[in-house]
Amino acid sequence: MKLDNRLNAMTVDVEDYFQVSAFESVIDKKDWDSISLRVGDNTHRLLDLFAENGVKSTFFTLGWVAKRCPDVIKRLVSEGHELASHGLAHQRVTTMSRSQLYDDIAESKAILEDVGGVKVIGYRAPSFSVNDTNTWVYEVLKEQGFIYSSSTYPIEHDLYGVPQWPRFKYERPEGIIEIPIPTIRKNNANTGIGGGGYFRLYPYRLSKKRIQRFMNEEPHPYNFYFHPWEIDPAQPAIKAAPWRSKFRHYINLSRMEGKVVQLLKDYRWTTMAQTYDIQTSD
């Protein structure tokens, strides 16, 4: 029996374990093609889990991955999931100029639409790297035909975060709908409850308690995010990474798949576009 009958959004950021921002100081992008991919098998595993539990999801996918794992893209589209963009090669928006971002997003969108055979209307910036310094991102998204973004996390964090920005779906002045990662209010501050490392770190009962609190207090849908590498405890260890990065990346990987399965069973899930009633401009 579901704990809540509302529809919520399940999302997956499709990137491999060596492409995360936490390892960018020790793994050069020029070496990516020499590393054996695990993202394909891991994403197929997630698609199996979603099929077993009757769940549809939005897959925010790197163009780099789509180009090398077309079978994954074709499968997720054929099974009724939503294909969306996570940029080309997981470069944070805060490190790019406007022209660089335009090229990055355009190339990613072209790859995804060519491989998937569907229109891509959603975008998520790597590491939630949209903030007060680069709101022009939304102008670029509008120029390229996107309808919505899910690129902000309104919390205090050492790597990202816009704590003063809106907590719920809203339309930007540029004409793009922004859907932030969900938070709850605690001690006059926002606390992240959207998934990822927080979800791996805490016992499932605590995560569920926080998610349920959000649902009890807010009239808005909930959205959850995680990555294919998070269900892969056998992934190679990046020993040269800083200790904090390793802690965040590897904590409780062996428990993640079981937690995700329980989450799929406890709540109702579908895509971002369906959950938030995102209409295409066609």
191: left (phi over 0), alpha (psi -120 to 50) or beta: beta
Q: What pLDDT, on the 0 to 100 scale, is given for residue 4?
A: 87
DSSP 195: B
Which amino acid, one-letter code, is at 139?
E
CA atoms lying within 13 Å on the CB side of residue 226? 27
Q: Say whether pLDDT at 187 is over 90.
A: no
Q: What gap in Å lies between CA 116 and CA 266, rounded to an integer?
A: 30
What 3-state class would DSSP assign to 11?
strand
Mean pLDDT of the chain: 95
Q: Which helix (H) or strand (E) element contains residue 17?
A: none
Residue range 206-237, pLDDT digits in tens: 999 999 999 999 999 999 999 999 999 999 99
CA distances from 239 to 23, 197, 242 (A): 10, 19, 8
Residue range 2-20, pLDDT digits in tens: 888 899 999 999 999 999 9
Residue range 129-165, pLDDT digits in tens: 999 999 999 999 999 999 999 999 998 765 666 889 9
Prediction pTM value: 0.96
Contacts of 128 (CB under 8 A, 6+ apart): 151, 152, 153, 160, 161, 181
Q: What gap in Å lies between CA 49 and CA 226, rounded to an integer?
A: 14
CATH numbers and ranges of domains, the chain = 7-275 (3.20.20.370)
Q: Say whether pLDDT at 280 is over 80.
A: no
**Residue (of 7, 10, 6) closest to 271 by Cα position:** 10
Q: What pLDDT, on the 0 to 100 scale, is given for residue 2?
A: 87
Residue with tokens 């965040």: 248
Q: What gap in Å lies between CA 206 and CA 169, rounded to an integer?
A: 25
